[in-house]
A = this chain, B = another copy of it.
Amino acid sequence: MADIAIVGAGLMGTAVTWPLSDNGHRIRLVGTHLDREIIRSCLERGYHPKLRRLLPPAVRPYYVEQAAEALAGVDVVVSGVNSLGVHWIGRTLAPLLRPGMTIIAVTKGLEASADGQMRILPDVLASELPAGLRDAVSLAAIGGPCIAGELAGRRPTCVVFTSRDKAALHRLRDLFRTDYYHIWLSTDIIGVEVCAALKNAYTLAVGLAGGLLERAGGEDGAAAGMHNLAAALFGVSMHEMTQIVTLLGGRADLVPNLSGAGDEYVTAVGGRTIRMGRLLGKGLTYSQAVQELAGETLEGPFVVQQLARALPGWEARGLIGPDDLPVLRMLCQVITQDAPVQIPYADFFGRGAITL
């Protein structure tokens, strides 16, 4: 039995309290400044309004001002914020962490520095820690297909825990795994994190098909939809994801796996990102779609914006050619310039004649 702190009381940060609680651990769930209403509900009624569930009894809610109290004596901290909160959580944790502690992040994303270098979010978080502490704590993250509400419902879920620290991975797996939360381990934190981020970007592309179908008047008299197009975009995205994972130094075999294909699949069939893609396919500009989905924080567009900053540098350094990554380039146009959707069929796979 351990005491574990979670900072960020959103869907995924809170969902992991179920396996932790089922394993007999005590959980301190710390809301950010954005989670105030959630924490209030948790304290007053033991009810999480976003997950729409009563919390496990082993969970004790804390307001952000109580973070120091919540982290006292814990060895493992879960970072439950989204990618916009990564710098904040790094700064917040910096004075509270002690050497030997482990931080495991549920956050999915990538961040481009001013010069277009891509960093995975655990490294962004680490960059906010004092130099001495940075190498004295272990950073880990979670990838693979996991809708939070299903984990909270104890539905079978298979994920990948990743860290450069192999011993930390084994400790974390022992803490979290249950007969419904199945965990595999990978030391390729770059590969797992890049897949986790890219699947949100490319699911936007898969979602376009549903919107284009609506724009075309829906299913025709013989019930023909646009699954072929969605699947083509899914397949091409796997190809482009492989190329990006490789050029950023990750292992390509994570793509035809839980991390890439599995995670993009679940996001395409059950996630929120697909709705944004559908609106874009229907003909809304990105700015209009953001209005329409007001209140939703989506990682996909944020990742595309980061990638748009990195692409010119990759091309300048010869890591990609001008014909590579046509679907990503289209997404960049749509998201960063409010461009209309134009599926670049002719450019798929770099325009080669014999391409596969």
Contact = CB atoms under 8 A, between A and B. Distances in A.
Interface in A234-278: 234-236, 238-239, 241-242, 251-263, 265-266, 268-270
Interface string A321-356: 000000000000000000000010100110001111
28 contacts: A52-B223, A53-B222, A144-B232, A145-B234, A147-B228, A150-B226, A153-B220, A155-B226, A156-B229, A156-B343, A156-B345, A157-B229, A158-B232, A158-B236, A166-B354, A184-B355, A185-B356, A186-B355, A231-B258, A235-B257, A235-B261, A235-B265, A236-B262, A238-B261, A242-B253, A251-B356, A258-B356, A261-B261
Given A182-B345, A259-B356, 8 more contacts: A51-B222, A53-B222, A153-B222, A153-B224, A156-B229, A158-B345, A228-B266, A242-B256
Contacts of A187: 354
A169 interface: yes
A77 interface: no
A192 interface: yes
Interface size class of A (residues with CB under 8 A): 35 or more
Contact of A256 (B146, B220, B256): B256
A196 interface: no
Contact of A145 (B145, B156, B166, B228): B228
A256 B246 CA distance: 13
B254 A356 contact: yes
Contact of A227 (B170, B261, B269, B345): B269
Contacts of A158: 228-229, 232, 235-236, 345, 348
A283 interface: no
Q: 7 closest Cβ contacts across the A-B interface?
A: A235-B262, A153-B224, A145-B231, A231-B266, A238-B256, A158-B232, A227-B270
A225 interface: yes
A188 interface: yes
A298 B250 CA distance: 38
